[in-house]
Amino acid sequence: MPARKSTCVKPTAFILDVDGVMTDGKFYYTAGGKWMKVFGADDHDALCLLKPHLQIMFVTGDHRGFEISKKRIAEDMKMPIELVSTTQRIAWIRERFDPANVVYMGDGIFDHYVMQEVGYAIAPGNADPNAKKSAHYICTRAGGERAVAEASLHLLETFFIPYDPAQPLPDGKFSGTGGRKTSSHRRGACAAGNQAIGPGCDESGDGNGKKS
């Protein structure tokens, strides 16, 4: 499915849906109610490479699972998340940003309404067909399976400075073993060659948002 063309020159914000983008989209229930969600590897680490260039925010319409999402996104990843239904997201974006400068990543059956109003839209590889039709870039990977990592590297290459795997990361923040910290831990944004990691991104510990 060919992606549609974009007129976005340089975005200033990256807004991501949580369920089906950061997760596999499934809700795990017990008799006691919603119990857990599955988040994938590498997505946080790749967002840290993108963070110096864009304001990154997460939205979810999942009221019952909001505390689960907040635990991962706000507490572990140290990134903002708000409870916003898909039908209200266009208005929510317009209150905060110029939609022409926004990148939006979504997967659901109503996300195409948002995607058609922003400057650049991204869909995971397993997104709803309407979301894919409205996307400027369609990931080869599925939600919860490094789709966000792929999208982050795509945005770096398309709008900013491409990620160069030959360049060392600042202070060895990610050692190649899932993003574990080394003893050279230091807070704040850093740069190594052409590569930078956003503030707070040296807190991820194991690359999955867990502090070591």
What are 139-167's pLDDT values in tens digits?
999 999 999 999 999 999 999 999 999 98
- pTM for the model: 0.82
- Position with higher pLDDT, 38 vs 210: 38
Mean pLDDT for all residues in the chain: 84
What's the confidence (pLDDT) of residue 149? 98
What's the confidence (pLDDT) of residue 146? 98
What's the confidence (pLDDT) of residue 6? 75
Asked if pLDDT for residue 188 goes beyond 60, the answer is: no
Considering Cα of 86, then 76, then 38, then 47, what sign does the dihedral take? positive
- Position with higher pLDDT, 208 vs 5: 5
Q: Residue 61, by phi and psi: left (phi above 0), alpha (psi -120 to 50) or beta?
A: alpha
Alpha carbon distance, N-terminus to C-terminus of the chain: 42
- Position with higher pLDDT, 105 vs 206: 105
pLDDT 10s digits, 29-43:
999 999 999 999 999
Burial 74-97 (b: 16+ CB within 10 A, else e): eebbebebeebebeebbebbeeeb
pLDDT 10s digits, 162-187:
999 998 876 645 534 343 333 222 22
What's the confidence (pLDDT) of residue 176? 41
The model's confidence at residue 14, banded by pLDDT at 50, 70 and 90, is very high
What's the confidence (pLDDT) of residue 42? 96
Asked if pLDDT for residue 193 goes beyond 50, the answer is: no
pLDDT 10s digits, 58-79:
999 999 999 999 999 999 999 9
